[in-house]
Chain A
Amino acid sequence: MGKKLLMYMGSAAAVAALSIGGTLALFTDTETASADFVSGTLCLTSERNDGDTVPGPMFYITPEQGKTTSGAPGTLPTGLWAPGDSHTRTLTVENPADCSSMDAWLTSVQARLTEGVSDQYEAMADVLYVVVKTPQGGGPDVVVAEAPLRQFLAGPVPIAYSNGDKIPVYLSGNRHMKFEVTFDRSAGNEFQDKTLVVDFIVNAEQMRNNP
């Protein structure tokens, strides 16, 4: 008798409590946690850097051609090219923290014909030889790419150190890249008075997760 009666009485008490509005007043608490995910950015800027006025092209014939956007004339014109001529100019590539947020590898260099130039003589790309150099570690400049300009116009030419190491440009850092252009000594008379105008492009990839 005793056990059944006690169970019955307990159930009745519970039903009574609910029916008169009583609640289960357990202590509770909640916390939330969130994480924001924002992807970073990679951007590069560059300027010619041989003591010349900036901004402007590395290679130009006259001071007027090499003038900056504010009109300051270029101070290092190459003058007209003759077969056998060779000129070297520096492009400083920066990975600025105001638009970039990560380290980068410089991966390739390419060129394209500058738009809006009516008298392009593309055959010159076969007789202009381009050598790209940059320092390795704290050492001197070493060659990281070399090919006729034609090849740079055809697409990205990979750049790397001779031991296969990639070329870093760290966040907030910069890298000097030297462009040595040589006009083939055996070019011939067909190139007299001819002009080629190109844009040089340096490509980069994120360094992280990209050994």
Chain B
Amino acid sequence: MKKILMSLATVGALSALITGASFALFTAQTENQNNTFTAGTVRLGSVTGFTCGVNANNMAPGDSGSCTVKVTYTGSLEAWIGVDYEAEGDLFEGDNPMTISLSGGNGATVDGIYVLGKYSDGQEATVTVSYDFPAEAGNAYQEAEGEIELSFVAVQARNNTNDAGNGPISWN
């Protein structure tokens, strides 16, 4: 009889565990509310300018000049702004092509992109595009056309500034 009772008790205890009976310990919790995480922005605004010299539509060998282009930065995070260009057309081909150079930045180039500098919301970045049509060009370039396309890029400066402090570690 005693053995039967013990067995029943054991079975009962096991059943309680199996059916999910739990240790009902005292518990408590505390909260810290309203923790806000908001990401900033990196935004380029409008591009203005890109007006080149009066001879831009009537280039002759020996002409040189410059174009000024501005871009406004509108992001909330400080950012590096860089510019790259692509020159297409016969004016940029051949033995004596028109050459292009950029100025207005801090002199650094990162991954082939010319660094204009570090900018905050509302500031304006300016790049000057200088062109030079060699006097040696010759008749092969008559009526030749060319187009320069500038591409501006902005990237966060925080956590992304190179050791020299003159540009980003990377543009993306």
Say yes or no: B37 contacts A48, CB within 8 Å. Answer: no
Question: Given the complex, which residues of A lie within 8 Å of B35, measured CB to CB?
Answer: 57-60, 114, 197-200
Chain B positions 26-80 with a Cβ under 8 Å from a chain A Cβ = 26-43, 76-77
Distance in angstroms between the alpha carbons of A204 and B27 in the assembled complex = 5
Say yes or no: A183 contacts B39, CB within 8 Å. Answer: yes
Knowing A58-B35, A60-B36, the reply to whether A201 touches B27 (Cβ < 8 A) is no
* Interface: B25 (CB within 8 A): yes
Question: Given the complex, which residues of B lie within 8 Å of A93, measured CB to CB?
Answer: 30
- Distance from A152 Cβ to chain B, minimum over Cβ atoms (Å): 11
Excluding A79-B40, A181-B37, 5 further A-B contacts by CB distance (< 8 Å) are: A78-B37, A85-B159, A104-B28, A124-B39, A197-B35
Q: Which of A5-13, A35-43, A131-139 interfaces with chain B? A: A35-43
Chain B positions 104-130 with a Cβ under 8 Å from a chain A Cβ = none
- Distance from A107 Cβ to chain B, minimum over Cβ atoms (Å): 8
Say yes or no: A194 contacts B34, CB within 8 Å. Answer: no
* Interface: B158 (CB within 8 A): yes
Say yes or no: B39 contacts A185, CB within 8 Å. Answer: no
Say yes or no: B159 contacts A185, CB within 8 Å. Answer: yes
Q: Taking CB as reference atom, which chain B residue is nearest A124?
A: B37
Question: Given the complex, which residues of B lie within 8 Å of A195, measured CB to CB?
Answer: 36-39
Distance in angstroms between the alpha carbons of A187 and B54 in the assembled complex = 46
Distance in angstroms between the alpha carbons of A104 and B36 in the assembled complex = 29
Say yes or no: A193 contacts B41, CB within 8 Å. Answer: yes
Question: Given the complex, which residues of A lie within 8 Å of B34, measured CB to CB?
Answer: 56-57, 60, 65, 114, 197, 199
- Distance from B52 Cβ to chain A, minimum over Cβ atoms (Å): 32
* Interface: B103 (CB within 8 A): no
Number of residues on chain B facing chain A (CB within 8 A): 26
Q: Name the one of A48, A194, A210 contacting B32, with C-beta atoms under 8 angstroms.
A: A48
Using C-beta atoms within 8 Å of the partner chain, give the interface range for chain A: 35 or more
For the residues of A in contact with B, the DSSP-based class is loop
Q: Mark A45-85, 1 if CB is under 8 A from B, else 0.
A: 11010000000111111000100000000000011111111
Distance in angstroms between the alpha carbons of A101 and B34 in the assembled complex = 29
* Interface: B160 (CB within 8 A): yes
Distance in angstroms between the alpha carbons of A46 and B29 in the assembled complex = 9
Knowing A42-B27, A93-B30, A204-B29, the reply to whether A80 touches B77 (Cβ < 8 A) is yes
Q: Taking CB as reference atom, which chain A residue is nearest B37?
A: A196
Distance in angstroms between the alpha carbons of A104 and B28 in the assembled complex = 9
Knowing A40-B26, A193-B41, the reply to whether A84 touches B32 (Cβ < 8 A) is no
Knowing A83-B156, A85-B159, the reply to whether A192 touches B30 (Cβ < 8 A) is no
Question: Given the complex, which residues of A lie within 8 Å of B38, measured CB to CB?
Answer: 61, 80-81, 193-196
Say yes or no: B28 contacts A191, CB within 8 Å. Answer: no
Q: Name the one of A185, A193, A209 contacting B40, with C-beta atoms under 8 angstroms.
A: A193
* Interface: A202 (CB within 8 A): yes
Q: Name the one of A187, A189, A201 contacting B29, with C-beta atoms under 8 angstroms.
A: A201
Distance in angstroms between the alpha carbons of A128 and B36 in the assembled complex = 12
* Interface: A203 (CB within 8 A): yes
Distance in angstroms between the alpha carbons of A98 and B17 in the assembled complex = 35
